[in-house]
Structure 1
Amino acid sequence: MAIATRTDSSLSATVTQTTLVNALKTAFTNAGYSSPISDYTSGTDRILVYQWDVDNTKVQGINYLRVRISNTLIIYQQLYTTWNTGTNTGTNSSSEVTYTTLAATNTIGFVSLNGSTEYKLVLITQGTTFIPLGLLVPANKPDWWDLNNWSYGFIFLTSTMQTLRTSNANPYSNTDFDYLTNTTRIANVNGQTNRRDIFSGLVLLSQSNQGSAGRTSDDVGQYCGNGSARYDTAPVFGTSQQYLVVVNAASGIIIRTA
């Protein structure tokens, strides 16, 4: 699949709801999203809705990502399979994901990663706070996963990016997923090579314990990330390939950038 295109941006203090919304719109554009199909106010919240066509010839072939920004600088995400721009309502919504509150007094950094048809991510940092926004659409969807019945696209639940969620239109009894290789054994520098081992490709497993939701390309993977820094470069020795360290922890998430 496509190697990520990275674009960095930032928002200086003092942060307000309006400046945060504008910075998010820029970051989402940098990640490869078109302009939001809905951009509106609900109570004290600002809401942006982005559309990602996986296969718009299929009944459930479009993901709608709803991003809600509160007046207290909390960001929320959820997925829908349809969206009415007239009424600002959708169907088959996932449960909303809530992220850490951002501070008005500190600069916010944005790293936008455009992975073409597999991922479009907006990664937010402010001090030790890390918020992963956007969608992952694994390159290798199971053949039996019928887009006329179920949508295909995932958002991240936490800063570790180890748990994902899809819409309510999915083949399992649970909307949440994690990875086959989530383990603390993928943690430290290899004592024999003095290098950090890389595991390319992530297999998504349903938390209903019923099977898989497919596999990413080798451009997404996990990494022995203990002791590394976020946004370090993880080289693949003997090649010119490089990965960006997105989560610098055991089973840390990496994305290929070269």
Structure 2
Amino acid sequence: MAFTRSDYTLNANFTQTSLKDAIKTAFNAMPNHVLVQDTTSSTDLLLIYLVTLNASKVCGKSYLKIRVTNTFSVRQQLLATWDIATKTGTLASTESSAITFINTSPIQLISLVKNPEYHFLALSQNSTFLLAGCLYPENRPSWWNEDAHYYIFHNDGSTTNIFKNWYTVIQSPFNISPGIYTTDWGDLRLSNVNPETNKRAAISGMSFYSSSQGDAGRTSNELISVAALGQTRFEQIVVTPGVEEYLLIIPNSGAMTLRSI
């Protein structure tokens, strides 16, 4: 099943509040996301969403925290619980790297949802890019107990290792660097056109790995990694017109690409 797409625009000369509200509008429209708090913390604006992707399991839900600073940086984090009164949570994931926007230019926001596997919000402004939201890989290991361990991921947001590093709530089956995982996205070995075929290599389905204790499952084949260095952000990759097409999220080595048809 391809994703559902919704497009939004935040006009130039936005404020910290209007940036937060644009993100809020997009997330409010996503399935399985319930806004539990829209609040402040010092000079930051916070959005807290309860994300439920497997209601039958104790750990089938997480709280997604979106933090917008007064310098227009956006960061995200997952938590096991959230206390509205104290504005704090438990078992917090590693917070993503800060991505900072400039309020004199507009921001393009694109919601990309394939429920329940991913609920992404892409924020794009010139060379600045953030992929907010959660990934719930379709092929969880058979031994992974969702009544004991969380399986909802967010990406690091780093501009140097885009989509390679992913984080979960730190209640993990792995005891070395719990809650920190890597994938094949961002792999420098997938950069350029194959000189023999004159085509760009693509790998279907991304595996997730713990730091040193084995694999942590795999996405569906509708999430792929493409040798896309030098291509264009949000470029449509057509395999068979109207039958099999993909959306390139950001042009880099081992680029995340999502099936759109």
Which interval holds the TM-score relative to the shorter structure? over 0.9
CA distance in 2, matches of 1:224, 1:139: 23
What secondary structure is seen at the aligned counterpart in 1 of 2:19? Answer: helix
Instruction: Please state how far the C-alpha of 1:32 moved relative to its aligned partner.
Output: 3.7
Partner of 1:41: 40
**Superposed counterparts of 1:238-253, under 5 Å:** 240-253=243-256
- Deviation of residue 111 (structure 1)? 1.2
Q: Does the CA-based 8 Å contact 1:99-1:131 persist in structure 2?
A: no
Aligned to 1:57: 56
Q: How many residues align?
A: 256
Q: Deviations over 1:156-210 (max 9, x none)?
A: 1124111111111111221211114753221112333332222110000112x11
- Cα separation, partners in 2 of 1:54 and 1:165, compared to 1, 3 Å: same
| Preserved contact between residue 32 and residue 52 of structure 2 (Cα < 8 Å) | no
Matched, 1:178 2:177: no
Deviations 1:67-110 (A, max 9, x none): 11111111111111122334433211112223221111111111
- Closer, same or farther: CA 182–11 of 1 in aligned 2, 3 Å: closer
**Contact 1:94–1:165 (8 Å) recurs in 2:** yes
The alignment-based identity, stated in percent, is 33
Separation in 1, partners of 2:242, 2:37? 44
Amino acid in structure 1 at the alignment position of 2:18: T
Shift of 1:31: 4.3
Contact residue 135 and residue 155 of structure 1 kept, 8 A: yes
SS of 1:96's partner is coil
Q: Is the 8 A contact 1:63 1:152 kept in 2?
A: no
Describe how 1:62-141 pairs up with structure 2 within 5 A: 62-141=61-140
Name the TM-score, length of structure 1 as normaliser.
0.93
CA RMSD of aligned residues (A): 1.8
Structure 1 stretch 114-123 or stretch 92-101: which is displaced more? 92-101
8 Å Cα contact 2:164-2:185 kept in structure 1: no
TM-score (norm 2): 0.92
Contact 1:246 1:255 (8 Å CA) reproduced: yes
**Aligned: 1:212 with 2:211:** no
User: Alpha carbons of 1:182 and 1:23: their partners in 2 closer, same or farther (altered >3 Å)?
Assistant: closer
AA paired with 2:125? Q
Aligned partners of 1:10 and 1:109 also within 8 Å: yes
What is aligned with 1:254? 257
Once residues 101 and 63 of structure 1 are traced to their aligned partners in structure 2, the CA distance between those partners, rounded to angstroms, is 25
Does the residue aligned with 2:35 lie in a helix, a strand or coil?
Answer: coil
State how far apart, in whole Å, the 1-side matches of 2:138 and 2:127 are.
31
Q: CA deviation at 1:33?
A: 5.2
